[in-house]
Structure 1
Amino acid sequence: MALVVFITLFYKNASYGRFIGKDSSFTLPSRVGWVIMESPTVIVILIFLILFFKNIGITEIIFSLIWLSHYTHRTFIWPFRAKLKGKEMTTGVVLMALIFNLVNITLQCIWIFILSSYDQNWIFSSVFISGLILFFIGMSINIKSDSILMKLRENNGEGYHVPHGFLYKHVSCPNYFGEIIEWFGWALLTMSPAGLVFFIWTFANLVPRAKSNHDWSKRNIKNYPVNRKSIFPFIY
C-alpha cells in the first residue's frame, strides 16, 4: 500500500491547500478538517492508557508521552498557529486521513499495550536513547520549519513567498524532512513492526508531496532558488 501511495503521489497531488481542484465541491475549512482528522491520534492512545494503566510499566507510559508530545502539538496547536484562514480541504482527504490515523494509532497501541513485553531497562538501552534523540531532533526541525513559514506570512502577507534560513537554505520542505527523521526515531526507539510500518508510510507519503511542492514553487514563486533540493539536503 505504501508503494502504491508513493507512486501515485508523484503523479497526482493530494487535494489540500494549493493543490485543491476547482471541481472539489465538498470541502471543509482546513483548520476544522485538520483537527477532525488528527484527533484520533490523541484520543485513542489516551483510551488505551486508561484501560491498560494497571498492567503497564514506565516504558509504555514514556512511549505514550513521546507520541502525545508530537500529536498534541499537531492536532491542537499547529492548526491554530498556521495561517489557514480561507483555506479549504476536501472531505475526501479528511476522511482518508481520519481512517489512516485511526488504524495507525490502533496498531501502535496494540503493539505497545498488548503484544509487546518491554522491561523497565528498555528506556536505558542504546536503541531507545538513539531513537529518542532522533525523534526530538526531527520534531524540532519540523516545528522550526513550520514557524519560519508562519513568520513569512506575517511579514509578507497572504500568498506564497520564498522562505529563507535554517534548512530552507538547502531544501524546499524541511518540515517533511524533520517528520521523516522523527518517525524513523519512533520506529527505532520502539523497535516495533507497527513503528516500522508507520515510518515506511510516512516516507512514501511525504517524499512525493515534497517533490510536488518543490516543483510548484519553482514554477509559481518568482526568484525561487534553483539549487534547492526537494526534501533531503544535497541529495533529493
Structure 2
Amino acid sequence: MKIPVLENFMFDEPSVWITITTVVTLISTVYLGFSEMIGNHLQYSKFADVKPSTTQGTKLSSRTGFLILYTPAFLAGLVSFFVFPGGGIRFLLLKFAVTFHFFKRDLEVLFLHKYSGGMILGSTILISIFYLSAAASMIVVHYLSLGLPDPSIDLKYIGLILFLVGISGNFYHHKLLSKLRTANEKGYKIPHGGLFNLVICPHYLFEIIIFVGMSFISQTPLAFACTFGDSMYLIARSYETRKWYVNKFEDFPKNIKCVIPYVF
C-alpha cells in the first residue's frame, strides 16, 4: 500500500524484491540497536572485552579491525563509478557521498586515531557486512530506480549540505578524541571540547547526519531504512557509552547527554 505523503519524498521501489530487501535491512539494523540496549554489545573499542576471553573469539588490533570495517564499503563506492557510469547529478552525488565517507574513515584509521583496545573478529565481520551492504545496496537500488519519476519534493541539495556538515563535524570530533592521548597512552579520559561538553558521542551524532544526508540525496526507501537502522544503533551505542563513562569516572558531568544535546 502506498502512503501519499511519503510518495512526495521517496522514489517508488522498482520491484517487490527491493521492498523485501528494504524491510530486512530495517529489521536487522534495528535489532542491532536493541541488542546494544540489552547489553549484547558489538565488541570493539571500550566494549572489546565485555565477554570472557575464553568465549569472545579472535581479537584483532583496532587499526586492522577498523580497516576491515570500512575498506569493503569504500571499494564498493569506488567501483560503482565504473560499473554504473552516468545516471545524472543525484546518482553522482550519491556515489560521491558513499565513497568519500568510507574513504575518510580509512584515512582516519591510518593517520588520525590513537587506539587503546582491540576488536573481536566476529563483531568486525558483522559491522563490515552491514557497511558494505548499505553502501552497495544504496547505490544499486538507486541505479535500478533511474528512469522512475522523481519525488515531487527534491531533497538532494539539502542532503548534500547535511552530508558535508556531518563529515566535517565527525572529523572534528574524531580529531578531538585523538588529542586526548599521547602516542604511548592507552587509558580512557573524559573527552572535552566541541560538542563533547554537551554529549558524550558527538561523533555519532554527526555520523547520523551523514547518513541522513545520503538518504536525502538518494530519496529511496532503502536509503532511509539504512539511515533509520544506523541511527537506532548509534543512539543505543551512545547510551551504553555514557553508562560506561558514568561507571568509570566518578567526576563525569551529569549534564552531558548521550548523543542529542540537551535532549538525550
1:164–1:98 CA distance, 2 compared to 1 (3 A): closer
Specify which of 67, 81, 101 is matched with residue 112 of structure 2: 81
Once the two structures are superposed, residues 125-178 of structure 1 have per-residue CA deviations (whole angstroms, 9 ceiling, x without a partner) of 852121111111122111111111111113994311122221111101000011
Task: State TM-score, norm by structure 1.
Answer: 0.88
Asked whether 1:113 is paired with 2:113, we answer: no
Q: What is the distance in 2 between the residues matched to 1:147 and 1:97?
A: 23
Specify which of 190, 199, 213 is matched with residue 171 of structure 1: 199
Specify which of 22, 27, 30 is matched with residue 62 of structure 2: 30
Q: What is the distance in 2 between the residues matched to 1:118 and 1:129?
A: 19
Q: What is the distance in 1 between the residues matched to 2:134 and 2:168?
A: 23
Aligned residue type for 1:49: F
How far apart are 1:44 and its partner, in Å? 1.4
Q: How many residues align?
A: 231
**Other-structure match for 2:216:** 188
Matches within 5 A, 1:87-236: 87-117=117-147, 127-154=155-182, 157-236=185-264
Aligned residue type for 1:232: I
Q: Contact conserved, 1:138 with 1:182, CA < 8 A, in 2? A: yes
How far apart are 1:214 and its partner, in Å? 0.6
Asked whether 1:61 is paired with 2:92, we answer: yes
**Other-structure match for 2:38:** 11
Q: What is the distance in 2 between the residues matched to 1:34 and 1:58?
A: 31
1:43–1:118 CA distance, 2 compared to 1 (3 A): farther
Larger helix fraction of residues: 1
Aligned residue type for 2:35: T
- Alignment partner of 1:39: what SS? helix
Aligned residue type for 1:89: M
Once the two structures are superposed, residues 53-102 of structure 1 have per-residue CA deviations (whole angstroms, 9 ceiling, x without a partner) of 2x533432232122222110112333431112x63111101111122122
How far apart are 1:179 and its partner, in Å? 0.8
Structure 2, unpaired ranges of 5+: 1-26
Q: What is the distance in 2 between the residues matched to 1:43 and 1:157?
A: 32
Aligned residue type for 1:163: P
Deviating above 6 A after TM superposition, structure 1's stretches of 4 or more consecutive aligned residues are: none
Q: Indicate the structure whose relative CO is greater, using CA pairs within 8 Å and at least 6 residues apart.
A: 2
How far apart are 1:48 and its partner, in Å? 2.4
The CA RMSD measured in Å over matched residues stands at 2.3
1:102–1:70 CA distance, 2 compared to 1 (3 A): closer
Q: What is the distance in 2 between the residues matched to 1:193 and 1:41?
A: 20
Task: State TM-score, norm by structure 2.
Answer: 0.80
**Other-structure match for 2:11:** none
Aligned residue type for 2:60: L
Q: Contact conserved, 2:77 with 2:96, CA < 8 A, in 1? A: no
1:164–1:65 CA distance, 2 compared to 1 (3 A): same
